[in-house]
Amino acid sequence: MDFFRKLFFTQAVPLIKKAKLQHIEENDMLPLPDLVNPRSIQVPVNEIRWDSPWSHLMSLIKVQRRFVIPGYTWYGLNAVFSLSTPVLVHHFVGLISKGVTQENLVEAVIVGLLLGFCGFVSGFCLQHFFHNTLRSYQVLTNVLNEKIFTHSLKLSQNARQKNQLGDIVNYMSSDSDSVADWPIIFADFIMSILMMTAVIVMLFYYIGWSALAALIVLFTLAPLTNYVAKRFTKLDEEMMAHRDHRVTLITQALNAIRVVKYFAWEKSVSKEVTEIREKELHSRRRLARAEVIASLGYLAVSTFVLFVALATHVLRGQTLDAALIFTCISLFGLLEGPFGELSRLISRATAAKVGATRILNFLKQEEVPNWQKQLDTTGASVGVEMHDLTLVYPGTERAVLRHLNLNVPAGSSVAIVGPVGSGKSSILNTLLGEMQLASGGFKFTGLPESVSPRVAYVPQEAYIVNTTLLENLQFGENVTKEELRRALHNSCLSQDLRQWKGGLRTEIGEKGVNLSGGQKQRVALGRAFLSKPQVVLLDDPLSAVDADTEKLLCERLIFGAWKDVTRVVVTHRLEFLAQFDQVIFIENGEIKGQGTLEQVKNSCPSFVTFYAEHGKSHGEGDIAVATADAGTEVAASKVDDESETRVTEDEDREKGAVKGSVYWDYILSLGGDGKYTRPLILLALFIATCAVNFLPLIQKAWLSYYSSHQTEWMALTAVGIYGLIGLALLVLTLLDQLFWLARGIRAGQNIHNKMLHSVLHAPVRFFDSTPVGRVLQRFSRDIESVDVYLQWMFSAAVNCAMQVVVSLVLILGLMPMMIFVIGPVMALYYLLQRDYRRPAREAKRLDSVARSPRYAHFKESLQGLVVIRSFNKQDWFMKNFYDKLAHSQRMFYSHYMLNRWFSSRIPLVGGVIAMATTVGIALSAYSGVMSAGTAGLVTLYSLSFWGYLNWGVRVFADIESRMTSIERLKFFANLPAEKETVRKSSEALRPTWPEFGEIKVENLQVRYAEHLPLVLKGITFDVAPGSRVGIIGRTGSGKSTFFQSLFRFIEAEQGTIAIDGVDIGTVPLEKLRRNLAIIPQDPTLFLGTIRNNLDRFNEYSDKDVTEALKHASMWEYVASLPQGLNSPVTESGLNLSQGQRQLLCLARALLTKARVIVMDEATASVDVQTDALLQKVIRSAFSGVTMLIIAHRLGTVADCDQIVEISAGEVKSVRRPGEWTRQEIEESLV
């Protein structure tokens, strides 16, 4: 029973039955067999070679012998039964030629039945070949994905900076898919060669030495194939490079979408992406043209080979009868598939080779040593020692750290302070094993050399995963509820937890989008606490929290719960230095002072100056303790809360049949944008395709006619006419395919540009609720469907439909009684395809949706490599990746099993038609109403009929599944856009607006959505031109909402914000945002140069840019770089320190010369000297500029002209600093 279940793919039947009753969902999909489950890879991975592309590809076949051997065996059986067809055709038409009599009628019927049987069995064998090789594809995808993911977790920081995020994601997606496809490609190549050889041998048997001329023509394929392969490789590599660059540009724009919108850079980003897209499409166009010309070259050879064979046969004085003609046509019909697909096979093989090359090159990238550590389980006390440690930047002689000597006793605390870029963070990265040392070394004392301590690392920019708050805290650790409560208390998250409806089950968006900077850092600290560390490494973790919270974190955590743990803390906050056992002052990569705070003060004059600046910029003494314990009991109840609150939305997925409007939209896009030219273009496409499909019938019909009228025509003339029709077919096919190519690329270009414009102009809320990985799927895999596949599928669909029509007209026209066979069989065919298409369509949609989480998790892992390795959580991230990969593979498996179920039954349908037709031909010939030529023609078309039926449904089903890409692209191309203006202005906007920077906020009411309560409840206050205004308030009070309203990320429901008397609701968005500037808390830079990070539109001179850098204290550093302003900035600015990135963001704001500037705790990540310098620069360079400052600390608002306190969405008070008591300000900053 199990044998027949596997033989006829009945595993898919439950899914088909369920799809008749309801829309199928993820849980309805077929269970994933262990053989293809990524959690249980059952192949000898150690036998895979990773040294060169071709040896790698061939070793993949070797390790997949479990699937490859049976798959190739089925393919061989398919070839045997296919090659039997010409033999039977020769015998069958020969019987008709001789005349069917009562003596040979039974023989003719049996031969006819065998023809139909061979067609059925060959098609059935082909489906089992596909089944085995697709299982091989799944396993290889698992192996390659695991290898790439594992290596990515080992990448050194230097290697990570060399490989852009978009490139690495493409290795995982496009390249691994191409490589995993290799066993199928290889089988097709071998089968093509074997079929060509078999056909030549059979030709020699039937036409003797006349086949020699055909063989000579076939040898012309060798140089053509070699040229095509080289050409495809070059063009494919070029196209992939452009695609990687485009995806990287889009990735960084999406990751920094707020900055893009703050500075109105949508046009700049769009221009950059569109330019790269043009280069990508140019390469794609050249590659596709090469494919078309190569395909036509092979088609020309196959047509010319038959012409030469027949012509040579005639010139040798041999006769051409119907049996010989249609046997030759049948033989060369077997070559049409291999010949027609040879160029695409070469293209796929090229893609596999290019993909393998790219993956192998990536796997050779530098790894960190000891990427996975054996952790200590004894809980021993651990210290740190550094001796004569020197560190240089990779590939340069520039020292980052010089001759460092440091001893941190077990259980002690060390504070590392110093100017921006002095090497503080590099010390932590060295202790994490992330840096390569030039000389010297370090060790953890108290443990054997082979054992590593449990390390907790909190970077400057907290690493947050798109999952629940609970999982962000646990980070793969098993913790008790009591430990969770203590973590929430010690990291000061108790009160925050009370604000979140879902408690610990609240979903945290990508990169912590729904958390403030301080909340993200406290989540990271809570995670560090739960990891039970022996060594704690903190890189300025308190820069984004308010003063009271900073004090509480120090008391509860750094000098409380961790008092017996070794702590190395990089900080720019000097209030608590006296509590550290040691203070290290580092400058230009050297330790200038070391000891207790008093010892360093007494021994290091430069530190005294550095420390003195702190009081000026941050104020004295400070904080009265505000209690955060009030929320502890609330938090305790939230620990058990099981209701999850979602931030991200489920991926959009249509249900049911793809709407006709989706097809129509794509068809219209093929016709272009012209109102009058579009119908003409579409009509021309249709006519050209019809002509290409009717000419082969005319060719065969001519030979059929000649075979019955040989006395009326010279044989050579007849063969010549056949050749001329073939030449016309080649020319028309070339024009047709080039036409489809041009229209398809134009359609892809239009869809991409519309989607890019729509996404870049979507509201910020869309990006908060939509994972970046999902958007990237649209710009990569879905766009690839449009660029590469859809136009050919539409062309193939028209071809297939025309061939079915031609076959039916021919059979029914000559044998009308066949309607009684074809009618019921076609009804059965209709029922089969209906039952198949419904679940297959949904399975394909679910397969597409399931890919996004897999790539999103991969991208998220790449962004947190150092944190993942520091916590030794590689296995946890691998497990999560395997879960997502297994889910994706389950959807893919269900889809292809449905395809096998349907495709294995269609040959039976076609076989019945072929059997009935050949029996009908035999009876007609017996009655004397059908000639041998006509019989041969009808036989050939009846035999190919099942192929067209199978091909047709697969093409239409593939179109429908690919059209789901169009559905998703259409959704993203029609996103609700931000409103350019929300109110009409009674007068034209002045070109010089705003001149002064006066701001009037009147009765401003704002809510995030119609069904949500007001966040701002009618706030009103005025800001005088050129004044500095501090905006203070507790977390969740509405400060950020006000700034989002100022930039019109959220539109006001009532009330107005007016700048220089102009309601900003009447100002176009680009005009408004380009006349405001912001210095954000999280500094964001883009891949490019220092110059284009400051001046995206190239509006300013080098002198202006230099001046801005000088004001921001960055010019000295930039001038020291070999390329100066054109020095490269890597993705996200990873080649610069956090402080340097922030200074560049300050320079960017200075360059805009905006009259209104917003600062969001912009100096939190810089040292005290730089902070003091910046405050001086801000007072001078921004003199006369209106400044709105979100404040978390007293020093930030001390010299403001006025302070606006917002509480619960209302303005509680507006006063000058002197009118506030210290306690009032402190309470407002909590």
Last residue of a domain, one of 609, 639, 669: 639
> What is the structure's pLDDT at 615?
53
Cβ neighbourhood burial of 1183 (10 Å; 0-12, 13-18, 19+): exposed
Instruction: Report H helices in 99-156.
Output: 105-154
Q: Would you say residue 809 lies in a domain?
A: no
Instruction: Note the pLDDT of residue 793.
Output: 81
What is the rounded distance in angstroms from the CA atom of residue 305 to the CA atom of residue 726? 11
Within its chain, how far is the Cα of 293 from the centroid? Answer: 31
Cα gap 425→569, rounded to integer Å: 10
Find where tokens 């805009």 sit. Answer: 1152
- Residues 775-792: what's their mean pLDDT? 83
Q: Is residue 729 part of a domain?
A: yes
| Residue 620 confidence (pLDDT) | 41
d(C-alpha 390, C-alpha 535), whole Å = 22
Residues 1102, 1050 share a domain? no
* Contact between 170 and 245 (Cβ < 8 Å): no
CB 849 within 8 A of CB 655: no
Do 693 and 823 belong to one domain? yes
- Of 84-93, 545-554, 719-728, 888-897, least confident by mean pLDDT is 545-554
pLDDT tens-digit series, residues 566-623: 999 999 888 889 999 999 999 988 999 999 999 999 999 999 888 887 655 554 433 3
Residue 414: the pLDDT is 97
For 308-360, write each residue's pLDDT tens digit: 888 888 888 888 888 888 888 888 778 776 766 776 788 789 889 999 999 99
C-alpha separations of 484 from 470, 496, 525, 636 in Å = 9, 14, 12, 9
Domain count, the chain: 4
Amino acid at 480: T
- Segment 459-518, tens digit of pLDDT: 988 999 988 999 999 999 999 999 999 999 999 998 888 877 788 888 888 778 778 778
- In this prediction, residue 715 carries a pLDDT of 86
Asked if residue 675 and residue 635 are part of one domain, the reply reads: no
CATH number of the domain at 543, please.
3.40.50.300
Neighbours of 697 (CB within 10 A): 17
CB 1063 within 8 A of CB 249: no
By DSSP bridging, strand 455-458 and strand 383-392 are unpaired
pTM over 0.85: no
Residue 1186, pLDDT score: 93
Which of 1153, 1171, 1186 is at the close of a domain? Answer: 1153
Within a domain: 69: yes
Cα–Cα distance for residue pair 455/533, rounded to 1 Å: 5
**pLDDT for the residue 950:** 66
Residue 514's pLDDT is what?
Answer: 77
Q: Give the neighbor-by-neighbor strand order of the sheet with 1062-1063.
A: 1016-1023, 999-1006, 1054-1059, 1062-1063
Percent of the chain beyond pLDDT 90? Answer: 33
* 3-class DSSP state of 242: helix
pLDDT tens digit sequence for 997-1010: 999 999 999 987 77
How far apart are alpha carbons 431 and 1179 in whole angstroms? 39
CB 213 within 8 A of CB 320: no
Residue 142 confidence (pLDDT) above 90: yes
CA distance 950 to 42: 33
């007494």: which residue's tokens? 602
Residues 911 and 1005 in one domain: no
Q: How many CB atoms lie within 10 A of CB 777?
A: 25
Where does the pLDDT of residue 772 fall: very low under 50, low under 70, confident under 90, or very high at 90 and above? confident
> How far apart are alpha carbons 1146 and 1133 in whole angstroms?
15
516: nearest Cα among 539, 489, 549: 549
Nearest to 1142 by CA among 734, 543, 404: 543
Tokens of 668: 């219209």
Q: pLDDT tens, 1113-1144? A: 889 889 988 889 999 988 778 788 777 888 88
pLDDT per position as a tens digit, 179-202: 999 999 999 989 988 988 888 888
State residue 967's pLDDT score: 83
- Domain with 1207 in it: 994-1075+1154-1230
From CA 225, how far away is CA 189, in angstroms rounded?
12
Predicted confidence at residue 240, as pLDDT, reads 82
Average pLDDT, the chain: 84
More confident residue, 298 or 598: 598
pLDDT tens sequence across 612-659: 876 555 544 333 333 344 344 444 445 555 455 555 555 555 566 677
**pLDDT value, residue 619:** 45
Residues 1075-1106: tens digit of each pLDDT: 999 888 778 888 889 998 898 888 889 999 99
Same-domain pairing of 486 and 360: no
Same domain, residue pair 1114 and 1216: no
Q: Does one domain contain both 871 and 773?
A: yes
Report yes or no: 335 and 195 within 8 Å, Cβ to Cβ: yes
**Would the pLDDT of 907 be above 60?**
yes
Rounded Cα–Cα distance for residues 122 and 99 (Å)? 30
Q: Average pLDDT in the 153-166 region? A: 82
Are 167 and 40 in a shared domain? Answer: yes
- Specify whether 546 is located in the same domain as 593: yes
Residues 675 and 821 in one domain: yes
What would the pLDDT profile of 851-860 be if each residue is shown by its tens digit? 888 888 998 9
The whole-number pLDDT of residue 691 equals 84
Give the domain CATH number at 112. 1.20.1560.10
Within a domain: residue 728?
Answer: yes
Residue 649 belongs to a domain: no
Same domain membership, residue 674 and residue 764: yes
- Residues 348 and 185: beta-carbon distance below 8 Å: yes
Residue 999 lies in a domain: yes
Residue 131 has pLDDT above 90, yes or no: yes
Q: How many CB atoms lie within 10 A of CB 268?
A: 18
Predicted local confidence at residue 632, as pLDDT: 41
- The SS3 assignment for 33 reads coil
CA-to-CA distance for 1198 and 1229, rounded, in angstroms?
Answer: 13
Residue 371: predicted pLDDT = 60
**Alpha carbons 496 and 791: distance in angstroms, whole number:** 53
Cis omega before residue 824 (within 30°)? Answer: no
Q: What's the angle, vertex CA 687, arms to CA 684 and CA 689, rounded to 5?
A: 105
Percent of the chain with pLDDT strictly greater than 70: 90
Q: Is 572 within a domain?
A: yes
The reply to whether 109 and 48 lie within a common domain is yes
Contact predicate 1185/1150, CB 8 Å: no
Task: Say yes or no to pLDDT of 1019 above 80.
Answer: yes
* CA 506, 512, 514, 519 torsion-angle sign: positive
Identify whether 989 is part of a domain: no
> Per-residue pLDDT averaged across 837-842, rounded?
85
C-alpha–C-alpha distance, residues 147 and 158, integer Å: 20
Domain boundary among 1096, 1126, 1153: 1153
